[in-house]
Amino acid sequence: MRKISAVTFDLWDTLIQEHPGGPAKVAAIRTESIRSMLEGKGIVHSNQEIESAYAATGEFLALTWSKRRDVATRDQVLFMLNCVDDKLAARLAKGDLAEIEKIYCSGLLEHPPRLLPGAKEVLRAVKAKGYKLGLVSNTGRTPGSVLRTMMGEMGLLGYFDTTTFSNETMVRKPAESAFRITLERLRTPPRAAVHVGDDEESDIAGAKRVGMHTIQIVSGDAKASGLADAHIRSLSSVADCIERLR
């Protein structure tokens, strides 16, 4: 019998999911709030200038993320401000820059994603069976500190023994180190852990390369990975699936 002692979960599209149009609404909250804050400091730029800089930052991030690396939130903000005006950041006081960074980070809290059906229940069930729980999540423009706040408000955070976010480790799934960092924190070898996620490459292939067991959540027309040890259609099946893997 395999001795499985820990279960790690992906976050996005596994436990939570964006509302339709959610990213665009959050982007509008960020750009308008930053424009308004700058205007209050006597620095006037149009909505179009701020939005274009935000879009350019997104292109820069996508390129960096494709290399399995991440960018600190402060550096994202500095890149965006430089796209507006290459002298803008230098004109700001230290407190002003911190305020812009806070706006940039916390936009998601004004329009949070939805909790997927069964998410809280599956964490409760797996925890009750005595497994250690970890989270391995890539971040976008919202850092792990804010995502933990959101997870706390959703009633998810307390189930996890450790949470690993890419903006804090600077590596992104499917990089093996993203999983290894979490397993080290859980003091669990890969062969004694199961990773639950939806993405064929980031979750399943990445975890398998480390030596973990994997459960893929397949929804809609998503492709089931031949690498996964098991496939499920609903979070409610996770606990039973782990027992079968043992």
Q: What pLDDT does 2 receive?
A: 58
Q: At what angle do helices 94-110 and 73-84 cross, to 10 degrees?
A: 110
Q: What pLDDT does 219 receive?
A: 84
Contact, 89 vs 192, CB < 8 A? no
Sequence ranges of the domains in the chain:
6-18+114-245, 22-110
pLDDT under 50: residue ranges of the chain: 1
Query: What fold, for 6-18+114-245?
Result: Rossmann fold (3.40.50)
- What is the CA angle 106-110-112, rounded to 5? 95
Q: What is the pTM of this model?
A: 0.94
